[in-house]
Chain A
Amino acid sequence: MISKEEYKQLVKKHSGSSPKPKDFIISFISGGIICIIGQAIYNALLSLDIKEDYVRSAVPSILIFLAALLTGIGVYDKIAKHCGAGTLIPITGFSNAVTSSAIEFKNEGFILGVGDNIFKIAGPVILYGTSASIIYGFIYYIVKTIGG
């Protein structure tokens, strides 16, 4: 029988890899389009004489809503299949992760189904994102205190 090491080479030979350059280009463009949409909403809200502070919170909220809506009507995953990281990295990807989990576990009930699983995918981002920002804030505070 073939050794594990030899088999590894055999598997590698027959397992095609993802088309990386194509994936990179598509995700760059699609991620960029989402940012342009965000900027367009930003400009539109500003032109309506809304305070810039409010606009800054309104833009991500609107993008989150749109991604949740597209997830709910079953479109987001079809776009994401082609766009990869382009739709995953912006805030819309986060919205999709939470909404899709919420829809998925509805049958298990609202408390132990949705409640328990809504952050199944987004959970690590929340945990480590929050932790990282606390550490960053701490370092920032020290540097600022020492630096005066």
Chain B
Amino acid sequence: MAKRIGKHTFLTENKPSFIGYGSVVGKKEHLGPMGKEFDLYSDDMRFGEKTYEKAESKLQETALKVALKKAKLTSNDIDMVFAGDLLNQCIGSTFGLKNYNIPYVGVYGACSTMGLSLALASMLVDSGAIEIAAAVTSSHFCSAERQYRFPLEYGSQRTPTSQWTVTAGGASIIKKADNLPYINAVTIGKIKDLGVKDANNMGAAMAPAAYSTIKSFLLDTNTAPDDYDLIFTGDLGKTGSEIMYELFLRDGIDIRFHHSDCGLMMFNKEKQDVHSGGSGCGCSAAILNSYIMNRFRDNTFKNILFVPTGALLSPTSTLQSESIPSIAHLINIKI
């Protein structure tokens, strides 16, 4: 049963492990620096579906299929699936997972969804309440663009701080096991809002959330950044990462050399013209379920922090000139 340490952190006791993982991406992501790490990709932005929303569902469906295959399981073996996405009412998840017939828990953490779903999955598996859980999430450039910005063919310019929504789906299968990467600890983040209103500067909105959650975890566990191989934030991008460094530097902590951002890893920022970097639930989910897991497999990583960040805004709150509340959840993965 997960044990609470410090103020916000839960330590697992029974090694809830990644027994399967899968990632599916779009063409642009495949052409990026991480391209070779992903399981599957498609040149067709619609993934053979009629709409971009259905395409996003396909991402989740396929990512879970790949993860199940790697874990040598069928959907009947899964006791519960935790999933979410950015679309209204999380239709990316519900339509993508409806045919699996697995008890479903829909979660919403914006781009931090992979962290939230893994936190819930690992704690329930650790407690013994369920044996095998799945955590799935996705984002799709076109469906996000339609919901949050302009029509795809509309001619507009992006600001330097804007980020590019990643087209990707990621799935993890969690079960107690030995000798596999496992979730050692979980910190559920608090909602942070320092008044950033620019929806084209989500890195700046989310940086305080990442800072707060990582800081809580380090305090709770009495550890320092250099105790970890790397700290991966979800999608702070260039702007958000730099702001987070400065927030830590004010406390005398330098995390620059222990930090990577999935949004910055996903694309070649200049060549692929993504301004501040990638974003979206699928961004951190795909990097976790490919690159990070692969590096655990080849023994490069032994102990990392995975901290996806989410901007909890909606098109309505943006139109009403509200600021952007943000959140970050932390998953400590060890082998």
Q: What residues make up the interface of A, taking CB atoms closer than 8 Å to B?
A: 1-2, 4, 7-8, 10-11, 14-18, 23, 71-72, 74, 76-77, 79-81, 83-84, 87-88, 93, 96-97, 99-101, 103-105, 107, 120-121
Contacts and interface: CB of A to CB of B under 8 A. Distances in A.
A14 B155 contact: no
A105 B155 CA distance: 16
Given A76-B153, A80-B155, 18 more contacts: A2-B208, A7-B195, A11-B243, A14-B239, A14-B243, A15-B201, A15-B204, A16-B239, A17-B160, A23-B157, A71-B153, A77-B153, A77-B155, A77-B156, A93-B155, A100-B151, A103-B153, A104-B152
Interface residues of B, number: 28
Given A14-B239, A104-B151, A8 B160 contact: no
Contacts of A93: 155
Contacts of A14: 204, 239, 242-243, 246
Helix, strand, loop or mixed for chain B's interface? loop
Interface of B: 50-51, 146, 150-161, 194-196, 201, 204, 208, 212, 239, 242-243, 246-247, 250
A11 B204 contact: yes
A104 B194 contact: no
Contacts of A11: 196, 201, 204, 239, 243
10 contacts: A4-B194, A11-B201, A15-B201, A16-B161, A16-B239, A76-B155, A77-B153, A96-B153, A100-B151, A121-B154
A71 B151 CA distance: 11
A16 B155 contact: no
A99 B153 CA distance: 8
A107 B50 contact: yes
A49 to B, nearest CB: 35
Contact of B151 (A10, A87, A121): A121
B154 A96 contact: yes
Given A15-B160, A16-B161, A104-B146, A10 B243 contact: yes
